[in-house]
Structure 1
Amino acid sequence: MSWEERPLEKHVEWLIKNKLGERGKRLWTNYEATRTEVVDHVLPWIKNQAPDLTDHGIDHIQDVIDRASELMGFINQYCIEAERPIMHDFTPDEMYVLLCGLLFHDVGNIFGRNKHNLKIADVWSKLPTWGSWTDNDRNIIIEVGRAHSGLTLTGATDTLKPLSVSSRYFCKQPVRLGPIAAVIRFADELAEGPQRTSRLLIDCKLIDEGSELYHHYAQITQVAIDRKRGLVALTFHINVDNSAYPVDEVKRRSHLSALLKMVYSRAAKMNNERQFARHYADVLMPFRETSISLTFQKTGQPLGIGLEPITLNDFSSPGDLDGLIEKVDQRYLVGPLVDSALGVKNV
């Protein structure tokens, strides 16, 4: 698969060439050369090394870049909002670091999922363009990419705080790594959905049993970013007679229960990430709420269960993720809901 240049890339190219002159042209040449190596020699091969992961290749990286565009308010091919420009305070150098961090954030998966965020340098150092970047500038990009998941080098869960407490410099220009990393981290969290899995692999049960649930989750998930309404909307469509689910009634119930628990856990985490990102990046302040909608269907028809969407906001405690959805609305209790879904008649 070849790389299709993203609108955000076109915007950053225009920005740095027009604002930074010859230095901007050199930066863009370096980006294109490095991107070619990542696209040709890293991203397509992650699947070979970790065949049961949901997609972390070219499509996923392009999707994460596009999600970052949406978060910042860019919606058309020129990366500006159609009715009025969305103003952010990122400098050209910061936008460039953001784009590079988005490109590199998941390359460590080629060495396996465990601590992949800490392996960016292990991958990049094997590419010829490694030497065309200064040590400082490489480290800046590695740091913002590394903060998208996992723990800090000291084992802390807040990967953004260390990037927000001191001044840093890229090409001798001041850059704010905390807000940049916050956009990368939230964009990656939102890049979920059917595009990350294969319907054929699911239907033919060609995915390792330990990874099936993650692919089933991706298959049912839709994420919408609505900046004007200050909303991230999560919609989950569950087909209870999906042929990939267990045939045995008891096992099917168990599987659906596990899938619902994953939905609730991921939805609560998404809201937590929204709050987290807003704290560190002013450009993400408009996102005040997370909505969760859950629908069930059978033989292609909706089931009349009558669930109302749930809205989580900043009053939903970010530290209280376990059982959050069921506490907000008891109609979402896993056991009764699964029983209802498996037994209700079509409407």
Structure 2
Amino acid sequence: MNLGHGTLEDWLKNPPVDKLKKGGDNYPFFSKYEGFKDYLNKNIHNETTKAAIIAEIIKTSDFDKITWLNDHGQEHIKTVIQRASLLVESKECDLNPREVFILLNAIQVHDVGNFYGRHNHEKKIIDAIKDGLSPAVFDRKEVKLIKDIAQVHGGSYIEKDGKKTKNTFKSITSPTSNSDSYVIRLHLLASILRFADELADDKNRADVKSLREKKMPKGSEIYHAYALCLEPAIINHEERRIELHYYINKEDLFNKFGKYDIDSDSIIERNVLEEIYDRTLKIHYERVYCSKFWKKNIDIESIWVKIEFYSDIYEEIHPEITYTLTDSEYPSKDGLTIFDLCKKELCYPDGELITTENVIKKIKEYEKSV
């Protein structure tokens, strides 16, 4: 899809002549979208992160177990739109203007349920925007399409037998739908939104001041420490891969950060390198999952990761690490670690694994030798 080095918003504002609106109401897609976006910016987006934190405070008296969200407001929405735009810049992907309209609106609302608290926020979309998504602006079919696509981005789906599954695409009863003479590929749009949201975590979302001054709940520290290390993701269609660049300074490498473990209902300590390993593995599995729904439209085969280590004066203190996550494992095998998938790349020449403990040991040995 040729976006002319712009975003999906730019494309919808000035679509190609052969992509002009057909059927439906008399309002141009972009003007309807812009009006709704303006409503959200004025009434909801700027309050979403704060409202979610307040809901967490009300829910628990233990400050350290409160989820101190990173940014879920306007800037996060812009980032998700940018990542989605990069994803669809594939030669094989060709969204029609109604699909772009539905996708952009779904991106605008995908996190607004946080206004009522983090838990099940993806299911509270309509509660948060029922005034903005009024029938005077959006017809009922549009509201349903937007909601169905947006709520797939996280959470879980309840099966008929009551069991939970992370396969949230099951909440969409049909992969396609017809709307105003257009075919809407719901699974394709939902997979683009879900993966774009997965790639929207980077240094710009971290609450650096609260992290450094230790003023945030202990259980949320690792999320901000992780984001702080990450540069914006690169989507390389030519190489068919996602490129993730991390920069870890010595202080953060040697430090441990709190993380709330819901299973044990306790605060555990994590090193940022361990978190990077786990998160890149998660991104890998999200790509594998989403690729089932965007096949023939987007061709991304791997996640390529580079991690660099530097001192407080920005000198390299350890050789950079690079590794690639691909579909190399047998799909039914459970419990795989980053070392199962990338052992050759994550080993020193002497055979030791590149773990946090070994990286710190190598750095200390180097410092003693100079």
SS in 2 for 1:141: helix
SS in 1 for 2:318: coil
SS in 1 for 2:165: coil
- TM-score, L = length of structure 1: 0.83
Contact 2:83–2:199 (Cα < 8 Å) also in 1: yes
More moved, 58-67 vs 293-302: 293-302
Deviations 1:109-135 (A, max 9, x none): 111111111111111114374543222
How many angstroms does 1:283 deviate by?
5.9
Distance 2:364 2:296 in 1: 43
Aligned amino acid, residue 196 of structure 1: R
Q: Does 1:340 align with 2:341?
A: no
Residue 295 of structure 1 is matched in structure 2 by 308
Alpha carbon RMSD of aligned pairs, Å?
Answer: 2.9
Residue 156 of structure 2 is matched in structure 1 by 151
SS in 1 for 2:248: strand
How many angstroms does 1:145 deviate by?
0.4
How many residue pairs align between the two structures?
324
Distance 2:141 2:217 in 1: 41
**Residue 73 (structure 1) aligned to one of 89, 108, 111:** 89
Residue 28 of structure 1 is matched in structure 2 by 30
SS in 1 for 2:168: coil
Where do residues 6-85 of structure 1 align in structure 2 (5 Å cutoff)? 7-15=7-15, 19-20=20-21, 23=25, 25-51=27-53, 52-73=68-89
**Residue 93 (structure 1) aligned to one of 91, 98, 101:** 98
Structure-2 change in CA distance of 1:307 and 1:245 (3 Å):
closer
SS in 2 for 1:42: helix
How many angstroms does 1:16 deviate by?
8.5
Structure-2 change in CA distance of 1:326 and 1:307 (3 Å):
farther
Structure-2 change in CA distance of 1:342 and 1:120 (3 Å):
farther
Where do residues 1-347 of structure 1 align in structure 2 (5 Å cutoff)? 7-15=7-15, 19-20=20-21, 23=25, 25-51=27-53, 52-73=68-89, 86-127=91-132, 129=134, 131-154=136-159, 155-163=164-172, 165-171=174-180, 173-222=182-231, 223-242=233-252, 245=255, 257-282=270-295, 285-316=298-329, 322=335, 324-327=337-340, 328-329=342-343, 330=347, 331-341=353-363, 344-345=366-367
More moved, 149-158 vs 220-229: 149-158
Bigger share in helix: 1
Deviations 1:193-222 (A, max 9, x none): 111013222222222211111000100012
Deviations 1:156-205 (A, max 9, x none): 21123553745423335331100010000010001111110132222222
SS in 2 for 1:147: helix
More moved, 313-322 vs 184-193: 313-322
Give unmatched runs, 5+ long, in structure 1: 1-5, 75-85, 248-253
Give identity over the alignment, percent. 23
Distance 1:321 1:332 in 2: 22
Aligned amino acid, residue 12 of structure 2: V
Structure-2 change in CA distance of 1:56 and 1:298 (3 Å):
same
Structure-2 change in CA distance of 1:24 and 1:289 (3 Å):
farther
How many angstroms does 1:276 deviate by?
1.7
Deviations 1:279-311 (A, max 9, x none): 211365321111122222222344453354111
Structure-2 change in CA distance of 1:93 and 1:184 (3 Å):
same
Aligned amino acid, residue 21 of structure 2: L
Contact 2:52–2:115 (Cα < 8 Å) also in 1: yes
Deviations 1:38-73 (A, max 9, x none): 111111001222342011100000000000111112
Give unmatched runs, 5+ long, in structure 2: 1-5, 54-67, 258-267, 348-352
- TM-score, L = length of structure 2: 0.78
